[in-house]
Amino acid sequence: MTEFRHVVRNRRMTRAFAPEGLDPALIDEFVDLASRAPSAGKTQGWHALVLEGPEQVGRYWDITLPIEKRASFRWTQLLDAPVLMIVLADPDAYVERYGEPDKERTGLGAGTEAWPAPYWTIDASMAAMTILLAAEDEGLGALFFGLFQNESEVRQEFAVPDRLQIIGVIALGLPAASGEPKEQARSADRPRRSPGEIIRRGRWQPSA
Ligand SMILES: Cc1cc2nc3c(=O)[nH]c(=O)nc-3n(C[C@H](O)[C@H](O)[C@H](O)COP(=O)(O)O)c2cc1C
C-alpha cells in the first residue's frame, strides 16, 4: 500500500487526547501543507485561528461546554487536546476575487447570492481535510467538530469578525494512551458506503 493510501485508510476521528503540547512549528507545517489544497481562483480565503495551551483552549471549552454540562459529556478527554484550530472562511474574499478582470465574466463578483456553490466553504473544507491527513501522517490524533453552542460568545472571546464563517474546529494532539485506540462515535457504527453505492455511471439513477 502506498503511504497515501495508508494515511487515508487509517485516519479516524480521535476523541480522547493526551495533554502534552505540540510544537507550534508542527502546526505551521500542517497549515503550509493545507495551503496547497485546491482553492477557487486561488483565492485562499480561509484562516486558521489556533488556540494553544490550557489557558486558550480552556477558554474555548468554558464557553462551549460549561462546567455544569461536563458531567454528562461523553468525550471527557477531548478537553485534553492541547490545540484547537478554528477553521474560518471569508466569503467576501471570493466575491472580490471573482470581480477581478480575469473572473468578471462569471458574474460571481456580484455577491454571495450569485454563487451556485459556496466555494469559500469548499476551499476551507479541502484545507481542513489536508490538516486531518497531515495529523494522521504525523501519528497525531485529530477531530473535526462543529461549533453548536454559544457561537457569538466564541466570536467575541477570540475576536472573530462577523464576516468570517466558522467552518468548524479541529482538535489536535497525541491520542490518549489510556482510552480505546480511537474512541468511536455513534455515527461510526453506520456502514461505510461502497463505491458501487456511491457511483452512478453514465447518468443519474436511483441506487441499485
Ligand atoms: C462536517 C463534519 C462535522 C462533524 N462534527 C462532529 C462533531 O461535532 N462531533 C464529533 O464527535 N464528530 C464530528 N464529526 C466526525 C464524524 O462523526 C466522523 O467523521 C464520522 O463518524 C466518520 O468517522 P471517521 O471520520 O472516524 O471515519 C464531523 C465530521 C464532519 C465532516
Distance 14 CA to ligand 1 centre (A): 10
CA-wise closest residue to 88 among 4, 163, 184: 163
> How would residue 180 be classed by pLDDT, with cut points 50, 70 and 90?
low
Closest ligand 1 atom, residue 146 Cα = 8
The pLDDT value recorded for residue 183 is: 57
Q: Measured from the CB, is residue 189 less than 6 Å from ligand 1? A: no
Say whether pLDDT at 124 is over 90.
yes
Distance 134 CA to ligand 1 centre (A): 17
Say whether pLDDT at 182 is over 80.
no
Domain ranges in the chain are 2-198
Average pLDDT over residues 187-206: 93
Average pLDDT over residues 101-119: 97
Percent of the residues in the chain that have a pLDDT greater than 90, as a whole number: 91
Distance 146 CA to ligand 1 centre (A): 8
Q: 31 with 87: CB under 8 angstroms?
A: no
> How would residue 118 be classed by pLDDT, with cut points 50, 70 and 90?
very high
Distance 168 CA to ligand 1 centre (A): 10
Average pLDDT over residues 173-184: 74
Q: What is the mean pLDDT of the chain?
A: 95
Q: Measured from the CB, is residue 158 less than 6 Å from ligand 1? A: no
Q: Measured from the CB, is residue 145 less than 6 Å from ligand 1? A: yes
Quick check: pTM over 0.85?
A: yes
Q: Measured from the CB, is residue 185 less than 6 Å from ligand 1? A: yes
Mutational test site, ligand 1, from 12, 13, 148, max ligand atoms within 8 Å of CB: 13
Say whether pLDDT at 208 is over 80.
no
pLDDT in tens, 43-88: 999 999 999 999 999 999 999 999 999 999 999 999 999 999 999 9
Closest Cα to atom 7, ligand 1: which residue? 145
> How would residue 179 be classed by pLDDT, with cut points 50, 70 and 90?
low
Distance 183 CA to ligand 1 centre (A): 12
Say whether pLDDT at 188 is over 90.
no
Closest ligand 1 atom, residue 12 Cα = 26
Bridge partners of 136, per DSSP, are none
Q: 23 with 174: CB under 8 angstroms?
A: no
CA-wise closest residue to 192 among 48, 5, 9, 2: 9
Percent of the residues in the chain that have a pLDDT greater than 70, as a whole number: 96
Q: 65 with 159: CB under 8 angstroms?
A: no
* Dihedral sign for Cα atoms in the order 76, 79, 80, 81: positive
| CATH code of the domain occupying 2-198 | 3.40.109.10
| C-alpha grid cell, residue 55 | 489557558
Starting at the edge strand that comes first in sequence, how are the strands of the sheet with 141-145 ordered? 46-52, 83-89, 165-173, 141-145
